[in-house]
Structure 1
């Protein structure tokens, strides 16, 4: 099975590393800076908050795919790990680097809502799947990509992803499969509402969650999304030990009670930060419109007020304008 990671940044490199260690032929489609970093440091170094550390060199790294996509042998599976707002622009490249006889799978790994719809109907020659990364990956010096929170790659199920799951699990890596990804993605959005708040506070996630005022903002954003889901009759997947409706209640507790009840939430790397924080620091456009912005749009559609998420969106746009 030939696999490509299209848009290999922090998450894409972590996925590529696990796939390489699981025995797959993996090509990174990435920026020249990423390629040079990996070459300079003799591979992709994966680490996590539980002490895992391993370095692996991907078989191939491609930086010119958009100029000459047809020059490459088609891939069996392509994982798209670009940001949401970049997905629709790569349609022609995806068609060129996949089999024309429906034998390829493209797995879109974006957070939030909307980016999959922007490209799904325009690609009909292969299987289109969705996937998510329910954990935090932060790019660190020396070609190291660090997983700072718990979770495993979660993919929509088909023959390709079943083969990938088997190989990854044999190496000790988790990989979850689901037939219906909609509840999974809606449930992940509930947790991803903290991405922007983490960028705004400019603190590590663990430190941010230790502050009650910040948790109350997150609780408010989550409550709005839960209200929208109820109004729209949307089912959301449960990621934590408690049901989603109880998360805002727990987040709003005084610090002492929160620390006792939310030990699992705080079992993260003390330096972990959100991908949106990383985007702001790197002066890149964020995915805010596909996260908190999606809550605002659906709130308007279903008549639910979303003042907390609206304020968060405005604050992130202010930071983007300063880039």
Structure 2
């Protein structure tokens, strides 16, 4: 079986490395910078919060699909690991590396990017999935899984093979029938991506500050109000039920820290992917995360002052401006 990772950034390289280490034939379709880094470091380095460390070289590295020879251009599975805002422009590339038997799995955070691409590829088998963990790009082409979790996606033709290969050491790959519940649940947790970028702190340190937790709780309540109107039964990713998380976040520091330590394992180095994008001067996915809350809430007349303010701050950071969290009014 041959698998392509289309858009191998931090999470894509991590998944590609895990697949390669499990004996799967993997091709990474990535930027020239990433390709050169992998070659210069003799492979992809992977580490995680459990202390695992190894380095592996994928079967093939290419910058463009045109580099693939005819005999190797069609894959059994393609994981699309691009950011939401990049998905719309890749339909032709995906058609060129797939056929009617290929499983194409879109692994984007947030809501909105899958709808347009689906209409562009009616003859292909398209699926959705999410990563329920955080990956930080480090020096020497090392990608670090900083929080617990794994891959969750819709079942597809080759999913059993990948599940068996990836789950040899510990549970990492899971298939579900109702991916919408998973995506909506992941969005609840991903509302912290933007706050982490604004705080400019490691995730663990950010969550130790009640001022950030209270704002996150408010952002989550706005999304939960939308979820209630859409009658979605959220998937439980942590030991705490989704609807209880906002209340947990507003607990005093001493109590929150004690409970959170039992609820979720976070590496002290872990930061959100949106922090990474701001740090690298890239556009973020905020329109598909907090922005999606704002957009969907309008359908039900739900006010979203907190998520709206967060979107505005991220837009300012994208422009290189400085934002002062303590001066922002989240009640407008």
- TM tier, smaller: over 0.9
How far apart, CA to CA, are the structure 1 residues paired with 2:264 and 2:158? Answer: 34
How far apart, CA to CA, are the structure 2 residues paired with 1:180 and 1:17? Answer: 27
Name 2:7's counterpart in structure 1: 7
Distance 1:68 1:60, change over 3 A: closer
Name 1:51's counterpart in structure 2: 51
1:276-291 → structure 2 map (5 Å cutoff):
276-291=274-289
CA drift at 1:126: 2.2
How far apart, CA to CA, are the structure 1 residues paired with 2:168 and 2:263? Answer: 27
Aligned 8 A contact 1:69 1:93 in 2: no
- Further displaced range: 48-57 or 234-243: 234-243
Name 1:312's counterpart in structure 2: 310
How far apart, CA to CA, are the structure 2 residues paired with 1:70 and 1:97? Answer: 10
Name 1:147's counterpart in structure 2: 145
Name 1:41's counterpart in structure 2: 41
Distance 1:131 1:240, change over 3 A: same
How far apart, CA to CA, are the structure 1 residues paired with 2:274 and 2:255? Answer: 29
2:159 to 144, 156, 161: 161
> TM-score, structure 1 length as denominator?
0.96
CA drift at 1:93: 0.6
How far apart, CA to CA, are the structure 2 residues paired with 1:2 and 1:171? Answer: 21
Name 1:111's counterpart in structure 2: 109
Name 2:330's counterpart in structure 1: none
How far apart, CA to CA, are the structure 1 residues paired with 2:39 and 2:116? Answer: 34
**1:93-152 CA distances to partner (integer Å, 9 max, x unpaired)?**
1001102xx210000000000011110121122210111111000000001000000001
CA drift at 1:301: 0.9
Distance 1:156 1:266, change over 3 A: closer
Does residue 60 (structure 1) correspond to residue 60 (structure 2)? The answer is yes
1:135 to 126, 133, 136: 133
Name 2:292's counterpart in structure 1: 294
CA drift at 1:31: 0.3
Aligned 8 A contact 1:69 1:96 in 2: no
How far apart, CA to CA, are the structure 1 residues paired with 2:150 and 2:64? Answer: 30
Gaps of 5+ in 2: 322-332
How far apart, CA to CA, are the structure 1 residues paired with 2:197 and 2:93? Answer: 32
CA drift at 1:234: 2.2
Distance 1:286 1:8, change over 3 A: same
**1:245-270 CA distances to partner (integer Å, 9 max, x unpaired)?**
11000000110111122113562111
Aligned length: 320
How far apart, CA to CA, are the structure 1 residues paired with 2:24 and 2:32? Answer: 23
Aligned 8 A contact 1:22 1:171 in 2: no
Gaps of 5+ in 1: none
SS at match of 2:237: coil
Q: CA RMSD in A?
A: 1.4
